[in-house]
């Protein structure tokens, strides 16, 4: 069963690093947003949209979005190649896994386009 061809970086070491860099970005973004919203309980639309109007916030958000997509792809690739295997399910496992990965790929592109539209569309 060929599995490495659908990994993200086509190398375990690249995937390992991208996974972890993305994890740090996502943690930082999550903590930032939670702290920001917690410190501003009376947050209104003007302040909120002003925050997302700034270039650094858009860069931070886009970085988090890209990190999310790569992090999810690599993580779910690990899960799928661990559990949707020929040994476990027979010959149909590869077809099943590739179909699942196509669905995930469409979801990833959808989130990216949607996220960019949200960030630059208001």
Binding site for another protein (CB under 8 A): 20, 23-24, 26-27, 30, 38, 44-45, 48-49, 52, 68, 72, 111, 114-115, 118, 121-122
Measuring CA to CA, which residue among 112, 120, 122, 108 is closest to residue 58? 120
Shortest distance in whole angstroms from residue 6 CB to another protein: 21
Q: How far is the CB of 58 from another protein (least distance, A)?
A: 11
- What whole-number distance in Å separates Cα of residue 70 and Cα of residue 46? 32
Q: How many CB atoms lie within 10 A of CB 66?
A: 15
Longest Cα–Cα distance in the chain: 57
Q: What CA–CA distances, in Å, run from 114 to 22, 46, 60, 93? A: 19, 22, 16, 31
| Smallest gap from residue 93 Cβ to another protein (A) | 26
Residue 71 or 93 having the CB closest to another protein: 71
Q: Which is nearer to another protein, 4 or 23 (CB)?
A: 23
Pick 8 or 68: Cβ nearer another protein: 68
CB of 92 to another protein, least distance (A): 29
């Amino acid at each position: 069963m060929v599995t490495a061809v659908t990994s993200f970086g086509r190398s375990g070491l690249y995937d390992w690093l991208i996974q972890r860099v993305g994890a740090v970005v996502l943690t930082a973004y999550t903590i930032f947003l939670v702290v920001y919203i917690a410190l501003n309980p009376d947050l209104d639309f003007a302040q909120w949209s002003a925050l997302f109007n700034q270039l650094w916030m858009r860069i931070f958000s886009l970085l988090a979005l890209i990190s999310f997509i790569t992090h999810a792809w690599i993580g779910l690739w690990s899960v799928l190649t661990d559990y949707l295997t020929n040994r476990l399910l027979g010959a149909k496992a590869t077809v099943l896994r590739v179909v699942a990965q196509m669905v995930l790929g469409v979801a990833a592109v959808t989130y990216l386009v949607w996220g960019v539209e949200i960030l630059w569309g208001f």
